[in-house]
A = this chain, B = another copy of it.
Amino acid sequence: MAPTYVIAQGGGPTAVINQTLAGIVAEAKRRDPKARVLGALHGVRGVRDGHLVDLGALPEAELMRIAATPSAALGSTRDKPDAAYCEEILKGLRKVGATAFVYIGGNDTAGTQAILNEAAAGSIACVHAPKTIDNDLVENDHTPGFISAGEFVASAFLSVDLDFRALPGIYVGIVMGRHAGFLTAASTAWRMDDESGPHLVYVPERPFERERFVEDVRLVMARHRRCIVAMSEGVTGPTGRSLVEELVPPELQERDAHGNVRLSGTDLGQAIERILAEDLKGKRARVDTFGYLPRGAISMVSEADAREAHACGVFAVEAAARGGGSVALQFDGRETRPVLVALDKVAGKTRHMPADFLMPHENRVSAAGTAYLERLLPRRFAPAKPFV
């Protein structure tokens, strides 16, 4: 009997998550032209509810066009299924005769697959294919989606630095990232030289201290007449709570169903604006919140990212043939390629930015961090040095 694949997409969309989808479909059909390939709408919710589309029937040109389009073509979900929900998903998979279920997403998605894999007991190959702009999956050198988002952030900060050479002042750009600072650190990848911004980088892994921040901004302003700051939405205060929790009055904080404080860029932005207005009075300052702009920017789809995301999809079919697991993008010192690792190695775990990616006592990216970012994000622009 020909195999039946079910594919779903979970969590926040990226610029290249549809490349992974297309890679799965193309490889499944290449291995067996009779293979059925179904797509579930809005993640596991679509599997449970029987909302499925026939991806195998798509003309190749249409599949390629979908692959080149950012965001999750099948729709996504933030559902984190428990055991009972997983039983319903399994029922849905069995109903369509699924032999393999490939779920493209981050560590929550891997967690769902780990539960399903247990429950399916070998009857359905459960595969997790990696995706996240946060770059926070363990076992991966980097994750599909990160490079495109990183290039957006690097490009934006290069542009803003040029802007602030013309009209000096303080700029704070707030970048997504609850637990991992990789995307915020990517802001430094395309700096023109050692004078260039971002001059200061604040990530969730290193506590933010207000006095130190103000003092550092003051020093950078004295030296460069401008100070460009990259800050993660999830940056934490000295007590380990998020800065939003520390700085925003409790009555203005919003919490989600899990009790997590909603990390709104504008909440953090307001708090930072207030610090600047109070402690650096009279200095021109601007805070922008990048929010969703980097994660699926149609203008910044990286070719390397697209290629790797597609390769992860192709490899996910091989992973299904081997009985399931998590596809991880690894780097062997020469090339990057997908390998198979156990689901429980990835499920629910968060990879943080290594401590040595920042300088020990400064909020700047270190040589180690720079080397990593330069390998992943080769420069795409060669601007001229302004006269000022």
Contact = CB atoms under 8 A, between A and B. Distances in A.
B277 A273 contact: no
Contacts of A288: 265, 289-293
Contacts of A152: 299
A381 B159 CA distance: 22
A65 to B, nearest CB: 4
A156 B12 contact: no
- Name the interface size band of chain A: 35 or more
Interface string A49-66: 000010000000010011
A298 B70 contact: no
A388 B296 contact: no
Given A78-B167, A166-B9, A266 B293 contact: no
A227 interface: no
A159 B386 contact: no
A266 B270 contact: yes
A206 to B, nearest CB: 23
A280 interface: no
Contacts of A78: 167
A299 B300 contact: yes
A2 interface: no
A96 interface: no
A279 interface: no
Interface in A176-234: none
A387 B292 CA distance: 21
Nearest to A383: B69
B265 A267 contact: no
A382 B75 CA distance: 19
Contacts of A9: 166
A386 B75 contact: yes
Interface in A235-270: 252, 254, 264-267, 269-270
A29 interface: no
A170 to B, nearest CB: 12
A273 B269 contact: no
Given A273-B266, A277-B254, A290-B293, A166 B386 contact: no
A47 interface: no
A360 B330 CA distance: 56
Contacts of A166: 9, 13, 42, 71-76
A155 B152 CA distance: 13
Interface in A1-48: 9, 12-13, 39, 41-42
A266 B299 CA distance: 25
**Residue of A155, A270, A300, A384 most packed against chain B (CB within 10 A):** A384
Interface in A151-176: 152, 155-156, 158-160, 162-163, 165-167, 171
A142 interface: no
A128 interface: no
A159 B162 CA distance: 25
A120 interface: no
25 contacts: A13-B162, A13-B163, A13-B167, A65-B384, A68-B384, A69-B386, A70-B162, A71-B162, A71-B165, A72-B167, A73-B384, A73-B387, A74-B166, A75-B388, A77-B167, A159-B293, A163-B295, A264-B287, A265-B289, A266-B266, A266-B289, A287-B289, A289-B291, A293-B293, A299-B300
- List the 4 closest A-B pairs by CB distance, nearest first: A288-B291, A75-B388, A71-B162, A266-B269
Given A75-B167, A76-B166, A254-B277, 7 more contacts: A13-B167, A65-B384, A69-B162, A69-B383, A74-B386, A155-B297, A287-B291
